[in-house]
Amino acid sequence: MTTNILKVEDLSVAYGGIKAVKGASLEVNEGELVTLIGANGAGKTTTLKAITGTLPNCKVSGHITYLGQALKGQSSFNLVQQKLAMVPEGRGVFTRMSIHENLLMGAYTSDDKQQIAQDIEHWFTVFPRLKERASQMAGTLSGGEQQMLAMARALMSHPKLLLLDEPSMGLSPIMVEKIFEVIRTVSAQGITILLVEQNAKLALEAAHRGYVMESGLITMTGNAKEMLNDPRVKAAYLGEA
């Protein structure tokens, strides 16, 4: 039986007169890696912010259900407690703290020191670059390493759903490949992921299912591998005629 983790129904968001999302619906089931792709300004980040309740003052309508419960007006503490973790665009690591300290912050709702130590060791096996640099200040890491740290920190909270907003943004092609490699590894460990990406090719190659967002609307959805072969996706997002 598939367990529904997240259901977004008929979501609309308007910033003043600008309608950023216009009745979008999507869902994520347990264990899935689902990607939301689309051009700049399509409304992807706004959708994620609506899920986490971190939108600025604007008009929101629709229903968001997470683990069977309506989600509305979440505080970040509540989100961690509900095992919903978000890695925002720009990563947001604590630059004046070491990698190790950042990871401890990711587990701040737990006081089980042994479990925390085990979790850090576990995520170090997935992100060996972080292990090599455990005592290094996060602010001195490369963009890709900071992205890995932000993901590992989010994973320290044992999320039931991990939201990733443009993890490849601003990274070199080699680092982008590495980031997608770890996203696949994390997904293979059973973590449910909603991935927002502009890099449609890599996102669809990694994902089980995909959604295309255009001007605030979901215009296409399906099996990610089939979407990779869809002529409309090829023409609009993969640079293939």
Site for ligand ATP contains 50 (CB under 6 A): no
| Residue 86 CB, nearest approach to ligand ATP (Å) | 13
| Residue 17 CB, nearest approach to ligand ATP (Å) | 10
| Residue 64 CB, nearest approach to ligand ATP (Å) | 15
Minimum CB distance to ligand ATP smaller for 52 or for 157: 52
| Residue 125 CB, nearest approach to ligand ATP (Å) | 32
Pick out residues in 194-233 that bind ligand ATP (CB under 6 A). Answer: 198
Site for ligand ATP contains 159 (CB under 6 A): no
Please, which residues have CB within 8 angstroms of residue 200's CB and are 6 or more apart in sequence? Answer: 37, 233, 237, 238
- CA atoms of 26 and 146, how far apart (whole Å): 29
Under rule CB under 6 A, how many of the chain's residues touch ligand ATP? Answer: 13
**Residue of 38, 144, 159, 167 interacting with ligand ATP (CB under 6 A):** 38
**Residue of 12, 29, 45, 65 interacting with ligand ATP (CB under 6 A):** 45
Site for ligand ATP contains 173 (CB under 6 A): no
Task: Count the Cβ atoms, other than its own, within 10 Å of residue 15.
Answer: 14
Site string for ligand ATP, 56-95 (x = CB under 6 A): x---------------------------------------
Query: Which residues contact ligand ATP (rule: CB under 6 A)?
Result: 15, 18, 20, 38, 40-46, 56, 198
